[in-house]
Amino acid sequence: MPPDRPTEQQNPADGWGALRRFIPYLWPKGETRLRLTVVVALLLVLLSKAVTLLMPFAYKGAIDRMAPGLQPAAGLAIALVVAYAGARFGGVLFDNLRNAIFERVGQDAARRLSVEVFRHLHALSLRFHLERRTGALTKIVERGTKSIDTMLYFILFNIGPTVIELTAVCVIFFVKFGPGLVVATVVMVAAYILFTRTVTEWRTKMRRAMVEHDNNAVARAVDSLLNYETVKYFSAEERETQRYGLAVRNYADAAVQNETSLAWLNIGQSFITNLMMAGAMGYTVWGWSRGQFSTGDVVLVNTLLSQLFRPLDLLGMVYREIRQGLIDMEAMFGLIDTPAEVVDLPGAPPLTVNSGRVRFEHVDFAYDPQRPILKDVSFDVPGGATLAVVGPSGAGKSTLARILFRFYEIADGRVTIDGQDIAAVGQESLRKAIGIVPQDTVLFNDTIGYNIGYGREGATQADIEAAARGAAIHDFILSLPQGYATRVGERGLKLSGGEKQRVAIARTLLKNPPLLILDEATSALDSRTEAEIQSTLQAVEQGRTTIVIAHRLSTIVHADEIVVLEAGRIAERGTHAALLARDGLYAEMWARQAAEREEALAAE
């Protein structure tokens, strides 16, 4: 049997709705070829069962021809034996042809559903992605997609054919042996199914405990090894070994219980199967002794029941996998049903950028209604001008960028670009018009060239290199053995913070947007590199509407206007010189940073 996996505590009946929703993916509109494939596969299922049901009659005929006094019929008996072997081969042939033909249908359905989930996940709001657990989310999609193949195989090619075969066997038994054997068969099959389901439910709790202990053992080992130095500092090797040993012992005990329960399941199934076999064959032998049945009828009953109970032997696994598959599919459809927080209005026109004037008009915003972030924030950035936003951590500076990108809906007020309310235009056109260099740069696990080229689809190598030169990273890239083909690692971990930020600057330069947001764009750079890039950024700002969110005040002295945020409100605003002359919060921040710079220089 396949390895166990945890089963969610959910009513399996709840998942049938997911199965009903999935069926249209198997019968897609406008896909005549796929629909024909489904029909052919189902016909092969019926052919396979028909051939399988003919096998016992060929076997019976061969045995009957071997009775004393029928020696001249040996040739016919051999022919029937050959026919029996041919029927067995035909059953295998049709089953495998069915699998090969239907594989395209199953894979296509899984592909279309997984693409729909992926597209919807990208359409969900930033709030959803900030609150998600990436590991759990990917597991839901992975399990949901894999469950499709499992569900299709077991329902269409295990349960369905078994029901057909049970019906056919009952009809054969009724015609040849009377209603008594039919009733006995139905009763024993019902008992078999009831016993299997009951024991499987009992085993589910054991499997869940076993998986939990297994996870605990792995987590204990990983946590201990990750904290190797701490273990050494406190001479706790033996203590860690004992804790790991206890976790492994708990898993071993749970695994023994699980395997024991499996043994009892197999024993009970075998008892019911053989009890039915003995009773049916005994009845047939009794009828043979009275001249009612032939010798071959004993073989016929034995073969039909053996074929019937063979798929039922897997019933425990089939029931568990279908139940888990329904739950996994339900979870995946739950993702599809998650509504997007930010949606376009019906018929929303694309944003048209002329001068690029940005206005925040009495904007209120809160991630949580109990904790407002922005309170009555208003400012106006003329087209081509540069606005700097400074303030203490938590004042709401980066939130302004997220609102401008319309990652969230504001509670009150409005934001406009060239007089167009960003809530009334298409999100795609809005975000295409804005470029950002974020404070925390995250890169794709691909090449440096790919990450820079991500700024504009279809960019040439020359375009990418020009952007890299503008971000002062071209020479560094050429110094690498693989140049622009160098892979940056997961989330760009193979690059330093400054290198990642320069890649982000190059990516935005390549996008060449009319509106630009610099969110602590040089925070991870050393003073020398910052000075090199600062002149580049100021050149980039020319002719663009730019909002600079900064911590280092020395980087924004050139701004046309500086807005000082404190506790979500605008505390001060003006040019650098005007704010210093005011001797308020900005002047205090400037003096503090100047003192820190002097201390750093003295320390050198």
Cβ(585)–Cβ(572) under 8 Å?
yes
DSSP, residue by residue, 136-157: HHHHHHHHHHHHHHHHHHHIII
Average pLDDT, the chain: 80
pLDDT at 505: 86
pLDDT band at 15 (very low <50, low <70, confident <90, very high): low
Q: Tell me, what's the pLDDT at 502?
A: 84
Q: Do 221 and 202 belong together in one domain? A: yes
Q: 23 and 88 share a domain? A: yes
pLDDT of residue 10: 43
Average pLDDT over residues 295-318: 78
Does residue 174 belong to any structural domain of this protein?
A: yes
pLDDT band with cut points at 50, 70 and 90 for residue 4? very low
Residue 552 in this model has a pLDDT that exceeds 60: yes
Structural domains in the chain (count): 3
What is the model's pLDDT at position 17? 64
Are both 423 and 489 inside the same structural domain? no
Q: What are phi and psi of 189, to 5 degrees?
A: -65, -40
Range of 60-64, 190-194, 202-206 with top mean pLDDT: 190-194
Neighbours of 545 (CB within 10 A): 26
Quick one: pLDDT at residue 349? 92
DSSP H or E run through 569: strand 569-574
Token couple for 301: 């009953």
Strands 386-390 and 412-417: unpaired
Give whole-number Cα distances, 535 to 46, 458, 464, 470, 530, in Å. 75, 28, 20, 10, 9
Segment among 450-454, 575-579, 594-598 with least mean pLDDT: 594-598
Whether residues 318 and 362 share a domain: the answer is: no
3 lies in some domain: no
Quote the pLDDT of residue 561.
92
H or E element, residue 429: helix 427-432
The residue from 278, 306, 337 where one domain ends is 337
199, part of any domain: yes
Decide: 396 and 569 in contact? Cβ < 8 Å. no
Contact present, 163 and 179 (Cβ < 8 Å)? no
Three-state SS at 346: coil
Between 109 and 237, name the one with better pLDDT. 237
Domain containing 203 — which CATH number?
A: 1.20.1560.10
Answer yes or no: is pLDDT of 358 > 90: yes
Bridge partners (DSSP) listed for residue 286:
none
Q: Is residue 473 part of a domain?
A: yes
Per-residue pLDDT, 221:
83
Residue 5 included in any domain: no
Task: Give pLDDT tens digits for 97-144.
Answer: 777 777 777 777 777 777 777 777 777 766 666 655 555 566 677 777
445-459 average pLDDT score: 88
Give per-residue pLDDT as tens, 153-190.
777 777 778 888 788 888 888 888 888 888 988 898 88
Does the pLDDT at position 207 exceed 90?
no
pLDDT at position 7: 39
d(CA 411, CA 377): 12
325 and 261 assigned to the same domain: yes
Q: Which residue segment(s) compose the domain that 508 sits in?
A: 441-512
pLDDT at 237 over 90: no
Q: In what order do the strands lie in the sheet with 412-417?
A: 371-381, 358-368, 412-417, 420-421
Say whether both 466 and 525 belong to one domain. no
Put the strands of the sheet holding 561-566 in their side by side order.
434-437, 515-519, 545-549, 386-390, 561-566, 569-574
Band (151; pLDDT cuts 50, 70, 90): confident
Is the same domain home to 326 and 240? yes
Instruction: State mean pLDDT over 79-103.
Output: 72
- C-alpha torsion sign, points 304, 305, 308, 314: negative
- What is the DSSP-derived secondary structure letter of residue 50? H
pLDDT value at residue 525 = 63
SS3 string, 481-517, reads CCHHHCECCHHHCCCCHHHHHHHHHHHHHHHCCCEEE
| Cβ-proximal residues to 240 (8 Å cutoff; 6+ apart), any chain | 224, 231
Distances 173 to 298, 349, 456 between C-alpha atoms, Å: 12, 71, 71
Residue 595 CA from chain centroid, whole number:
50
pLDDT average, residue stretch 286-303: 81
- 536 occurs within a structural domain: no
Query: What DSSP designation does 438 have?
Result: -
Per-residue pLDDT, 416:
93
CATH number at residue 363: 3.40.50.300
pLDDT value, residue 164: 82
Does residue 245 sit in the same domain as residue 116? yes
Q: Is the pLDDT of residue 5 over 50?
A: no
Three-state DSSP class for residue 383: coil
Asked if 87 and 52 count as a contact pair (C-beta separation under 8 A), the reply is yes
Pair of tokens at residue 416: 């406009």
**pLDDT interval class at 34 (50, 70, 90):** confident
Q: Is the dihedral of CA 316, 318, 319, 323 positive or negative?
A: positive
Least confident piece of the model among 49-63, 136-150, 323-337: 136-150
Q: What is the percent of the chain with per-residue pLDDT over 90, rounded to a whole number?
A: 10
The answer as to whether 2 is a domain residue is no
State whether 377 and 293 are in the same domain: no
**Are both 257 and 280 inside the same structural domain?**
yes
CB 514 within 8 A of CB 537: no
The rounded distance, in Å, linking the Cα atoms of 176 and 283 is 13
DSSP 8-class letter at 158: I
Examine residue 6 and state whether it is found in any structural domain, yes or no. no
What does residue 456 show for φ and ψ, rounded to 5 degrees?
Answer: -150, 120
Eight-class DSSP state of 340: P
For residues 210 and 249, is the Cβ–Cβ distance under 8 A? no
Q: Give 95's pLDDT tier (boundaries 50, 70, 90).
A: confident
pLDDT average, residue stretch 42-62:
76
- pLDDT at residue 517 tops 60: yes
Return d(Cα 103, Cα 156) in angstroms, integer.
Answer: 12
pLDDT of the residue at 594? 80
Nearest to 508 by CA among 462, 544, 471, 547: 471
Helix-, strand-, coil-residue percentages of the chain, each rounded to 5: 65, 10, 25
The token pair that represents 113 in the structure block? 């559903």
| 498 and 568 share one domain | no
Q: Do 207 and 251 form a contact (C-beta atoms < 8 A)?
A: no
Q: Say whether both 521 and 587 belong to one domain.
A: yes
